[in-house]
Amino acid sequence: MAQIEAVAATSNSFVPVIDIAPYLAGTPEGKRRVAVELDRACREVGFYIIVGHGVDPRLIEQIETVSREFFDLPLDEKMKVHIGNTPGAVGYAAVGDIALAYTRGQVAPPDLNESFQIAKVDVTDDRYFQSEVARGLIPSNRWPERPAALKAVYTKYYLRMAALAADLMRLSALALGLPETYFDDKIDRHQPPQRSSLPGAENCSVAWPVTRCCAH
């Protein structure tokens, strides 16, 4: 309850805050009630904030800690895992490397942040993942030597977010009046990246005007 109240107090009231704990509890009534809330949020607003998701707060703290430890490293050390021209752009991107406005066909100054991105961590021997197209979308991850815990924490967090995404897809199916597992065989080969970003300093060499992260 404290988590719900804290999120509600700091969020714009225009965006609904949905507690999905009743869905995760597995009771028919709980699932129905949360599905109705999600349906309304998607139809009337298009966005929603979730609480009661069951993600261990310690894991959230761990990924923030190792991410900040990585970004605090000297630039030359972070550049050892620089994204370069690697297909799929895994690794480190320095301030000024990326301008996400290109995803909307726009030209803009680079985004004022640095980031570290990984690709899917649980690739299987499925022929789908061995295809040329898939290999381009899911390159081998590039892990830094420090922090030593980063690889393990990022892997654990990635898998936990994948599980949560699957829960949200099942919840979305119920909201659409479909069988709960309708989307299961449509997302079982997902390939989303995971990206951590840190805002850059205002006195950096990137030309103004610039934003932390362009619309994309």
pLDDT digits (tens, 9 = 90+) for 47-93: 999 999 999 999 999 999 999 999 999 999 999 999 986 556 899 99
- Name the pairing type of β-strands 91-93 and 113-118: antiparallel
Residue 201 has pLDDT above 70, yes or no: no
User: Among 80, 154, 65, which Cα is nearest to 117's?
Assistant: 154
d(CA 135, CA 191): 11
What pLDDT score does 2 carry? 47
d(CA 65, CA 153): 10
Q: What percentage of the chain exceeds 70 in pLDDT? A: 79
Mean pLDDT for the stretch of residues 165-192: 95
Tell me the domains of the chain and their CATH numbers: 1-54 (no CATH), 56-216 (2.60.120.330)
- CB–CB of 107/181 below 8 Å? no
pLDDT single digits (tens) 115-160: 999 999 998 888 888 888 887 788 889 999 999 999 999 999 999 9
Q: Write the CB contacts of 59 (distance below 8 Å, at least 6 apart in sequence).
A: 153, 156, 157, 160
Q: What is the pTM of this model?
A: 0.85
124 burial level (CB within 10 Å; 0-12, 13-18, 19+): exposed
Amino acid at 48: Y
pLDDT band at 207 (very low <50, low <70, confident <90, very high): low
- Angle among Cα 157, 47, 3 to the nearest 5 degrees reads 55
